Amino acid sequence: MLGPRESSLWHMISAPTIWALHFCVVYGWTASVCARGPDPAAARLGIGIATAVALLGIAVVGWRAWRQWDYLDDYDYEHDGPSVEDRREFLGHAGWLLAIVSAIGVIFVGMPALFIETCL
């Protein structure tokens, strides 16, 4: 669906995409739960589930990106040659770093759930 790993950009940006979706889901869910009738417990539960699912997704994406980079194979983190291998490793390397940033972002976005007590 996302195209071949070694040339498609989609694999590289799927972690930030999960982060963006998580952001929308958390904000939308909290707003609608609180508008229907203040229910901080439901808001917290929903944010918790969304955050767990997003982190799981990012972990999978990140693991595959790490494999694609296969750093431990050749300890190579310069990928500026015009070869299929360099392109594959570059996309994997970037995808791995983006997965780390996305995981941090998802945790920060989800963190208020630990403290939320009212809807107002």
Partner 1 sequence: MAGSRRRAGRDPLNVGRVLPAVLIAILLGGCSGVQSVLDPAGRDAEVLARLFWWMLGGAVILWVLMNGLLVYVSRIDTRPLSARAAEWLIIGGGIVFPTVVLAGLLSFALSEMPEQRAPGSGLTVSVTGESWWWRVEYLPDGAETPVVSANEIRLPVGRRSEITLNAHRVIHSFWIPALGGKTDMIPGRETRMSLEPTRAGEFRGQCAEFCGESHALMALGAVVMDEDAFAAWLEKEAAPAVPPESDAARRGQAVFNAEGCGACHAVRGTAASGRVGPDLTHVGGRVSLAAGILPMTAEALMRWIRDPEAIKPGAMMPGYDHLSDDDLSALAAYLEGLT
Site of interaction with partner 1 (CB under 8 A): 100, 104, 107-108, 111-112, 114-118, 120
> Residue 4 or 117: which CB sits closer to partner 1?
117
> Residue 29 or 71: which CB sits closer to partner 1?
71
Contacts 24+ apart (CB under 8 A), 93-97: 93/65, 93/69, 94/12, 94/65, 95/11, 95/12, 95/13, 95/14, 95/15, 95/61, 95/62, 95/64, 95/65, 95/68, 95/69, 96/62, 96/65, 96/66, 96/69
> Least CB distance from residue 113 to partner 1, whole Å?
10
> Least CB distance from residue 82 to partner 1, whole Å?
24
> Residue 5 or 97: which CB sits closer to partner 1?
97
> Least CB distance from residue 100 to partner 1, whole Å?
7
Can you read off the two tokens belonging to residue 22?
Answer: 């998580």
